[in-house]
Amino acid sequence: MYRRAPCLLNRIIAGGGRRSAAAARPFSTDLPAAPTEDTAFVEAWRKVAPNVDPPKTPLAFMKPRPAASPSIPTKLTVNFVLPYQSEIANKEVDMVIVPATTGQMGVLPGHVATIAELKPGVLSVHEGNDVTKYFVSSGFAFIHPNSVTDIIAVEAAPLDNIDPTLVQKGLADFTQKLNSATTDLEKAEAQIGVDVHSALNAALSG
């Protein structure tokens, strides 16, 4: 109910003056911290209803977005979550390589803020000389301006948990289904099978 309140009150008070250059979006490198309350709303409320406390908006209860730091951080903070458990939580690493639909994407600290859809492939987390690899079935990767990277996947397994014989068998099965598929839906399902199994194969051999 109060979501539209700042907008409506400002419309009454300000009388419809157009916002000019203030509407230009700043670069994410010089954003100040998000405010915990909308000062324009609070002032407008006090003018209209001085005896009633202004209501708290959801923003007042949340942790505000922190100010974008002007310098590039030295480490990447990674959160890798699955629906049933959290694989990596707030770990500081040097680089992650994400299997985005547009190709393997390397994420270093200071990467531009990105939302990437993931395809079935290998996610590798590089910390010093250690590399931890997971095979990810699909999901998304969110890279925030402050170099926090959230990777969410439906299913992920370390490469050791994958059985090569099952992968080969699946690949053969689905290639055969792709050749014999008739409807669009069957073709799509067979194509997905071929893609997933070839990615698994490449992960195991690469």
Partner 1 sequence: MASSGAAVPFWRAAGMTYISYSNICTSLVRSCLKEPHRSNAANREKVHFAISKWSNGKPESPTIRSDSATE
Angle between helices 5-14 and 39-48 (to 10 degrees): 70
User: Closest approach of Cβ 196 to partner 1, in Å?
Assistant: 5
Residue from the set 20, 51, 161, 182 that interacts with partner 1 by CB under 8 A: 161
Shortest distance in whole angstroms from residue 95 CB to partner 1:
23
Distance of alpha carbon 104 from alpha carbon 141, whole angstroms: 12
Contact pick of 19, 27, 52, 84 for partner 1 (by CB under 8 A):
84
Which one, 9 or 156, has the nearer CB to partner 1?
Answer: 156
166 belongs to the binding site for partner 1 (CB under 8 A):
yes
Backbone angles phi, psi at 145, to 5 degrees: -60, -25
Residue with tokens 């405010």, as numbered in its chain: 35
- C-beta of 54 vs 99, nearer to partner 1: 99
Site for partner 1 in 3-62 (CB under 8 A): none
DSSP for 98-139? EEETTEEEEE-TTPPPEEEEE-SEEEEEEETTEEEEEEE-SE
The helix (run of H) or strand (run of E) holding residue 42 is: helix 39-48
- Site residues for partner 1 per CB under 8 A: 83-84, 120, 135, 137-139, 154-155, 157, 160-163, 166-167, 170, 184-185, 187-189, 191-193, 196-197, 200
